[in-house]
Every structure is written in structure tokens, then in C-alpha cells.
Amino acid sequence: MTLTTSRNAALAARDLKHLWHPCTQMHDHESIPMVPIVRGEGAWLIDADGRRYLDGISSWWTNLFGHANPRIAAALAAQAHTLEHVIFGGFTHEPAIELAEELVRISPPGLERVFLADNGSAAIEVALKMSFHYWLNLGHGEKTRFIALSGSYHGETLGALSVSDVALYRTTYAPLLLTPILAPSPDSYQGEPGESPAQIAARRLGELRVLLQRHAHETCAVIVEPLVQCAGGMRMYHPGYLTGLRALCDEFAVHFIADEIAVGFGRTGTLFACEQARVSPDFLCLSKGLTGGFLPLSAVLTTRDVYAAFYAEYSAGKAFLHSHSYTGNPLACRVALETLAIFRDEPVLEHNRLLAAHLAARLAPLRDHPHVADVRQCGMIAAVELVADKASRRPFAAVERRGLRVYLHGLQHGALLRPLGDVVYFMPPYVVTTQEIDQLVDVAIAGIERAVRG
């Protein structure tokens, strides 16, 4: 069959006529194939011509228990036949009630109030507004700023983008954004030679302390991605930073916002990344894996103290104001509950430890590769940093788009790998098998060989 008569090509042509895709220069699709997926099954995606792709990145980090997971699909269908949606102002329903109960039960201690939204960026907007409004309600309207880490990513709506520091997404829109105070990331890759991750974290905490001494009076919160800065290039850091951050936030009276949108639900080896530092944030933002990758939904968990600052007679004008039409959508809540039930019924985290160890063993040889500066891993997230020069860690010129070559190689060889710049990473669904990990790594290594040539 020639390409022009394939079902893939026919669907791609129709797509490109009217659709506009995210994170894409649409012109690229004059040469890069658009891949129409018709079916999903476990860790696999199947295109319209019947070709299969191993989803090495969980479809943008959302999928946990496989595509079209039968158990989650059945729960969704049953809910759809019962109650698809209802206004969430003044009305409620069991899926949302149960979801709030379950999230409070499984999250770090002290988080006992749940605000729902539709996606990760919306959760960040909620957390930023809630933190600001908390201080306002306490008579501290002078607190209007946020501290974020260099290299951070918290989403792409204007508020979330404001506290993000990935140039690709931010630079163009900078004139529209709030100006955060940037603290240097504890990223272990950016340490001094010979410095351990724990020492880097300690040094960065010292720098954060200086910023807080100067800015705490005007600062609402410090926002971080616990343990792994994902979109910023899967940069990882020592949990000691989070322990120190909790102490600093208490000392300087600013909130600690933990954005676990990507790292939550077992990605880092514990159910929530904050557990590894034994800390509870003031706000915990969740999305992505929350619904097992089925539906958009997010949640912001916060404390009794925060909730209390808004709780007053109507006339006091202290109520939190943020609403989306689909807040608390019962289909999404039901699907989230089924996802959390899988964590209860199956030894997910234990099993992931075996998968993570297997992935680590398979990636280890890449450490000696002349164009690999770093191989790092945190639970079910692993990343390989490609560079032009290993000794100096000089990156490839961005215009060479080396990572894109790995992506294209992957597509040709049945794997969905979508490097962030020149960082090739692995974040597979938890239903992946060790054989599938082997396949994924083999394709990635061959793709890397191709990408670093010439």
C-alpha cells in the first residue's frame, strides 16, 4: 500500500485542514507525519494503518494503567448512564464526595480540603489565587508575588506560565505575565564538580533564604515541582530541598505550593513525591495521572488553616472565587476514584520498583556514551541528557533538533518517545512489561546513535 492510499494519510490530511495542535509548529507537518491513533491497548497505541507504538511517555504523562483500561472504562460507562454532569455550585454528588474523602486519606497529613478544577494549569491558577487571597483575608494585601524555581514548569495559562521558567513557552508571552522571583533550582545536574545532590540542595536553600529575607514581606508562596522538574528537562533534585523549603516557608510566613501534577500518583516511587521529604505542603496540586489518563480533572488540596481564612459571613466578602462550568464533573471524578481503587487493590508501587530497577539497568550502559552527559532516574521517570561535548557538557545547537531525530526514529520503529529538547526520557505507563521496556530502550539507543551523528 502506498502512503497516499493509507488510512493514516487520509486522516492526517483531514486533520491538517482544520485542526491546530498544541506545542507544535504546524509547518513541521509538511515533513513530519501526523499519526492518527484509532485504538489503545495497555502500553500500546495503534494507528489507522494498524501500526503499533509503545507509549514510552504515557501520552504526556497522563496514563497510568494502560490505554482503554477495561476497569476504568467500565466505571466511566456506568457513570455516564447515571449522571454525566451537574452544576457544582449548591449541588453535589457521590463521586466528588468520595473522591475528596479518598484524596484526603491518601495525601500527606494536614491536607483536608479539596478544590476541584479541570486541568493542571487551572489547578495552579487556583493555588496561586487561593494563596494570595488567604493573605489578603488576613490583612496582608501587600503579599502579591510568588517565588518559583529556575527551570520550572507549571502550565501555560497566563498565571501558571507566569511562575514557569522554560524559555520556549514563556519568552514570547512575557509582556503579559506576572513577574515571579526566581530562586535557583536545586537541579543536581547543575551542581559544582564533586558536589553531591544533598550538598547542592543545601546550597540552594541558602540562596532561597537570602531571597526570602529580602522578599518574604511581599511573597504569597514558593511554588515547586517536588523532586523532578519535568517539562524543564526531567531535572531531578535531592528531597532534602523540600524538607528545608518547608522549614523556610514556616519561618518566613509564606505558603509552600507543591505542584505534583506530573510527579504525583507514584511516578517518583512514592505515591506523592513530598512523602520522600516527609513534608506536607500548604497546597498540593494534582492532575494528569489523577484519572489514569482518561479525562481532564485536577484537584488542589489545602489545609484547615487556609480554609478557615475564607470562612465567614457572606457580608465579609471573603469567599474564594474561581469556577469552571465543568467543576467536579462526575464522569471525571468517577474515573479518578477507579484509578485510586487500582492503587488500593494492586501492589502498584512495589511492582513499579521492579520496573524502575529494570529500566535503570538497561539505561546504565548509556553513561559511557560519548554524547551522553547524564543518565538520571527517579522512580518511573528516567532521562538521558544528550550533549555535543561530554567533557564540557556543551549542548548541541538547538536548531539541530537532535531530540526530534530520536522522536522520528521512534515512530519508524514502533515507539513513542518525545524528547524535551535533547533530553530523551522515559515515563511509561505502569502496565509496561520488562520486555516492553527492553524494546523501548533498544529503540531509544538506536535513535540516539542516529541523532548524535553528523
- CB 271, min distance to ligand PLP, A: 16
- CB 416, min distance to ligand PLP, A: 17
The binding track of 276-295 with respect to ligand PLP, each residue x by CB under 6 A or -, is: -----------x--------
- CB 121, min distance to ligand PLP, A: 3
Closest CA to 253 of 161, 147, 156, 353: 147
Position 242 contacts ligand PLP (CB under 6 A)? no
Q: Are strands 298-303 and 111-117 parallel, antiparallel or unpaired?
A: antiparallel
The single residue among 155, 244, 328, 428 that binds ligand PLP, judged by CB under 6 A, is: 155
Q: How buried is 359 (Cβ within 10 angstroms: 0-12 exposed, 13-18 middle, 19+ buried)?
A: buried
C-beta of 117 vs 417, nearer to ligand PLP: 117
- CB 137, min distance to ligand PLP, A: 26
Position 352 contacts ligand PLP (CB under 6 A)? no
Position 153 contacts ligand PLP (CB under 6 A)? yes
The single residue among 58, 121, 280, 439 that binds ligand PLP, judged by CB under 6 A, is: 121
Number of residues that bind ligand PLP (CB under 6 A): 14
- Cell of residue 440, nine digits: 523501548
| CA dihedral (244, 250, 251, 254) positive or negative | positive
- Cell of residue 154, nine digits: 507549571
Candidates 76-84, 102-110, 223-231, 237-245; binding stretch for ligand PLP (CB under 6 A):
223-231
C-beta of 143 vs 288, nearer to ligand PLP: 288
Position 119 contacts ligand PLP (CB under 6 A)? yes
Dist. CA 280–CA 111, nearest whole Å = 7
Task: Name beta bridge partners: 52.
Answer: 46
C-beta of 226 vs 244, nearer to ligand PLP: 226
Q: Would you say 116 and 301 are in contact if contact means Cβ atoms under 8 Å apart?
A: no
The secondary structure of residue 180, as a DSSP letter, is P
The secondary structure of residue 237, as a DSSP letter, is -
Position 93 contacts ligand PLP (CB under 6 A)? no
Q: Which of residues 122-141 bind ligand PLP (CB under 6 A)?
A: 124
The single residue among 262, 273, 416, 451 that binds ligand PLP, judged by CB under 6 A, is: 262
C-beta of 271 vs 373, nearer to ligand PLP: 271
Contacts of 115 (CB under 8 A, 6+ apart): 126, 130, 299, 300, 301, 302, 320, 322
- CB 164, min distance to ligand PLP, A: 8
The single residue among 230, 254, 359, 440 that binds ligand PLP, judged by CB under 6 A, is: 230
Secondary structure (DSSP) of 163-191: T---HHHHGGGGGGS--PEEEPP--GGGS
Position 63 contacts ligand PLP (CB under 6 A)? no
Q: Tally DSSP H helices, then E strands, for the chain.
A: 14, 16
The single residue among 103, 261, 297, 451 that binds ligand PLP, judged by CB under 6 A, is: 261
Q: Would you say 183 and 148 are in contact if contact means Cβ atoms under 8 Å apart?
A: yes
Q: Which residue is nearest to ligand PLP (CB)?
A: 120
User: What is the 3-state composition of the chain as percent helix, strand, coil, each rounded to the nearest 5?
Assistant: 45, 15, 40
Dist. CA 442–CA 436, nearest whole Å = 10
Binding site for ligand PLP (CB under 6 A): 119-121, 124, 153-155, 225, 230-231, 259, 261-262, 287
